[in-house]
Every structure is written in structure tokens, then in C-alpha cells.
Amino acid sequence: MDPIEYQPEGAFLEKTGISRESLLQLGPSLEAARSEIQADLKAWTAGHPPAPDKDPLDAGFIDLPERILTDYRTRREQSELGRVLATADRLCETVDRVVVLGIGGSYMGARAIMDACCHPMYNELSRADRGSRPRVYFDGNNVDNDATQGLLDVLGQSESIEQPEGGWAIIVVSKSGGTLETAVAFRQFLNRLNSTLKSPSAHSLGDLVVPITGTHGKLHDLAQALQCRDIFRVPNGVGGRFSVLSTVGLLPAAVLGLDVVHLLEGAVMMNERFQTAAVGNNPVLDFAGVCHLLEKERGASTRVLSVWSKGLEAFGLWYDQLLAESLGKSERGALPLTAVNTRDLHSRGQQHQEGVRDKLITNVIVDKYRRDPLRVGQSQWNQDQLNALADKTMPDIMRAAIQGSKQAYRDDNRPTADLHLPCLDEHTLGQAFQMLMLATIVEGRLIGINPYGQPGVEAYKRNMHTFLRST
Ligand code: PA5
């Protein structure tokens, strides 16, 4: 399996960037952050309560991939992952559509996995072309009246709910079990599902609703009342935005027929590199170091994740949340921004090229496409004058756009870095998720901000509840 590679050469600019030496000089601090993270994990594993300045300490995500895989290899179908796979297969045999309800960390990872690893038009394919896996939709990530009803329209009052081709099911994800957006959506979809079930039916509601939640809370209670056949836990010590490689991301991925073992193995590979490689050759420490130095020394307080693949947009949005909720505290923290290129060269490109010098652009580049290259080709209608490029392929044009934009930024002394993904599959995605989660906590430790918890999100929730009850 090929490793992903972080190449920050475009950030090494004399007056407006940083030097390789300054990254190496930061090495001892980065390595100290790594040791601190390892000590945090040990303390968390031993069940020691965190010091007040480290509370909350959600270090459980770090070795989660190893723990899940070990459990699976030892106990197979009895293991958590074994149960995830069995539930996914059961849903595949029973229904044609699965609605995944959740918001924030309970939504974005699964969405990123689907968009990166599945056919770009997955839900439009025939059941056979989907490998007999269900279509997957997302809701509960907003309170958008028309959007939710739009999805309910698609699900319909299916007459054929008893048939796999017509039936649908719900995966509802909420760690706290009380998030209003998800809860309101769940009520809508649950009521609709209930009303479509005939009596007597081959299925009970509890067969068609799979909750992923904490060990207590409103969703937990609801799951008990519905007698859900399968209930999964968001593991202890794993915060929402760090939960993509738990059941939260694994169950939807397994429903889609994706290789969840590969996903986890990719993360394990990144953990090994993080623990053993020196600064200058360690994607996690180097990424954290370059971002930190550019912000501190050059005011690069906007971090653009420039993804050169449509399938990575949701991955970029997942990272937006990770960075924003983890380090956007105490009036600090860089602003994350996802750009999808070449699309956004035609919208944001002007500002990135000539706007305020407050940006670090990290290009996320997929080196190998899944499909054979499409050639421009000869045409009898050459008014577009593309016959001159007839031998070029879409990947050739994409490469030229990447090189061209990197050159343009360099010529104007604007710092960039590259993150190369050998291809877009489960293994590379697992590496990339783990790399960015680890880099975020490294940076948090480096600058003295607790990367876990999101106390600032509570204010809007309190106000929203007050308004709801007073009007
Ligand atoms: O990172 C986080 O913890 C948050 O983004 C949560 O995932 C989000 O608020 C959803 O919370 P819950 O899973 O409790 O519904």
C-alpha cells in the first residue's frame, strides 16, 4: 500500500514563506508535542482523570484503528467491526435506501468517505451497478424544511417497503443523543417509516432503525423504546469530529460496500509514521509545523485546502470542521477554507493569487485516477480549436492546471504545500484522516490550546432553545 506524501517545498520562500531550517529548528517542540500526546493517550487508557487544562481529553481516537482491528482479528463476527459488517449486510439484503442522520462530526466523515470512495453518481446507478448495496442519503445536518421534505418525497410512501428494492432504513448518529437538528429530522423520518410499514410486516421498526449513540441520553432511550435490533456506541473518549474511524464512519462505509479494514489499516500506517519518523520526514509533524510557522511568522491565518478532485470536497469540509472546532478558541486559530479545483480557480482564484497575503494553500493532489484517461480527441467541429490538443487527456490538463497555479503562486511569492494521495481509495483516505486529526492535536499542544471539546458551540444552542420556548 502506497503512503501519502506531504511535500512543503512551495512554502520555503525567502521573504514570504519559511525556511526548511526553521521547520527543523521547530523539531524539538514538535517532538515534545508528540511525546505529550503519547503520554495523554497512556493516561487516558489508564483511566486517569485529566488535569483541568486538559479537560476534556478525548485521546481515544489515536489508537482506535489498532484497537478495532485487533478486536476484529481476534473475535471476528463477535467483535464491534464484525457486528458493523453484519448489520451493513443485513441492511443491504433488506432495503434499497439508507438515510444517515447526523450533524457535525456525526455526519461529515461518512459523507467524506462516500464522496471520495464511491462512484461519483453512486445513488443514480442501478442496484446491480451498486453491487446490490443501498443508496445512501444524508439529513439531520440542518433544519431545512424543504430539503428534508425533498428527501421524504424521494423515499415516498413506498408501497413496496416489504421488498428490498423499495424499502428504506435509517442510521441515526448522535453521540450526545440530544442534538436538536438530528432529533427533529429523526422524528420526521421515523414517523414516515412507521407509516409505510404494513401490519403485519416482515420488518419491525426496530429492524430498520440503527442508532449510533452514547451509553445514555435521549437517543439511547428512544433506541430502547423502539427495540432496535442493532445499536452501536460512539466509543468513550472519542470526540465527534475525531470519530470518523469509529462506527460513526464505518457503518455507513460498510453499507456502501467499502473496504473498512483498508480504511483502518491506512490510519494504522499513519500512526506508525507519526510515532517513528523524524521532523522533515513525518507528514503529521511537518504539516503541523509548516502551518504553525507560516501563521506565526508570516500571518498566514487562512488555510486553504485546495483539493484537485471533486470527490474530495466533503473531505475538505470535514477538515474545515476539524480545524475550526479544535483550534478556533481563545480568540486564536486559523481559518480553514476548502477550495475545489479547477472549479474554484474561476471563483476564489483571483483572491488567492492577488488578495491579502494571509494564506497558506495546501494542494491535495490525487496521483492516479480510477478510470482510464479521457482524451480530448479529434473533432470535425474544430471551431473550439481543440484539435491542437487532441492527444491530451483530462489528467494531462489537470496536471497542467496544478503546475500552472503552483508556478503562479511561486512567482508571486505565495506559499503552498502539496499533499499527494497515490489514489482515491479507502487506504489513502484512512491515512489522510488520521494525519490531519493527529496534526490538529499536535498543533493544539504546540500553541497551548486544548484541541478537544467545543465550548463555543453551546451559546447558540442555549439561545435557540430560549427563543423556541418563548415564541
Ligand atoms: O465534534 C463534535 O463533537 C461536534 O461537531 C459534534 O459531532 C456535533 O455537534 C454533533 O453532536 P452529536 O453527535 O452529539 O449529535
pLDDT in tens, 292-329: 999 999 999 999 999 999 999 999 999 999 999 999 99
Alpha carbon distance 306, 344 (integer Å): 9
H/E stretch holding 65 = helix 64-75
Nearest residue (CA) to ligand 1, atom 9: 104
| CB neighbour list of residue 107: distance below 8 Å, 6 or more residues apart | 100, 138, 140, 141, 173
Ramachandran region, residue 177 (left: φ > 0; alpha: ψ -120 to 50; beta: rest): left
What is the model's pLDDT at position 471? 74
Determine which of 161-165, 254-258, 283-287, 458-462 has the lowest per-residue pLDDT on average: 161-165
**Alpha carbon of 434 to ligand 1 centroid (Å):** 18
> Does residue 17 line the site of ligand 1, with CB under 6 A?
no
Choose the catalytic residue: 181, 313, 325, 443.
Answer: 325
In short, whether 58's Cβ falls inside 6 Å of ligand 1 is no
Residue found by looking up cell 479544535 in the block? 326
Does the active-site annotation cover 346?
yes
Whether residue 256 contacts residue 110, with contact meaning beta carbons closer than 8 Å, is answered with no
The 10s digit of each residue's pLDDT in 1-58 is 899 999 999 999 999 999 999 999 999 999 999 999 999 999 999 999 999 999 999 9
- pLDDT, tens digit, 9 for 90 and up, residues 63-95: 999 999 999 999 999 999 999 999 999 999 999
Q: Supply the residue whose CA is at minimum distance from atom 8 of ligand 1.
A: 104
pLDDT the model gives residue 198: 75
Distances (CA, A) of 224 to 100, 179, 198: 19, 18, 22
Judged against a pLDDT cut of 70, whether residue 260 lies above it is answered with yes
What is the reported pLDDT for 103? 98
Q: Is the pLDDT of residue 263 over 90?
A: yes
440 lines ligand 1 (CB under 6 A): no
Helices in 278-425 by DSSP H: which ranges? 283-298, 313-327, 349-354, 394-411
189, pLDDT greater than 80: yes
Q: Answer whether residue 157 shows pLDDT above 90.
A: no
Determine whether the shortest distance from the Cβ of 220 to ligand 1 is under 6 A: no
Give the Cα separation of 212 and 197 in Å (integer). 23
DSSP letters spanning 73-141:
HHHGGGSHHHHHHHHHHHHHHH-SEEEEE--GGGTHHHHHHHHHHS-TTGGGS-TTTTTTPPEEEEESS
Would you place residue 156 in the very low, low, confident or very high pLDDT band (cuts 50, 70, 90)?
Answer: confident
Binding site membership of 10 for ligand 1 (Cβ less than 6 Å): no
Global pTM reads 0.97
Give φ, ψ of 25 to 5 degrees: -65, -30
Q: Using most ligand atoms within 8 A of CB, pick from 175, 322, 329, 462 the residue to mutate for ligand 1.
A: 175
Q: Is 5 helix (H, G, I), strand (E, B) or coil?
A: strand
Q: How far apart are the two ends of the chain, measured CA to CA in Å?
A: 57
- Mean per-residue pLDDT, 257-262: 98
User: Could you tell me the domains of the chain?
Assistant: 5-56+279-452 (3.40.50.10490), 61-262 (3.40.50.10490)
Q: Which one from 42, 310, 461, 465 is the annotated catalytic residue? A: 461
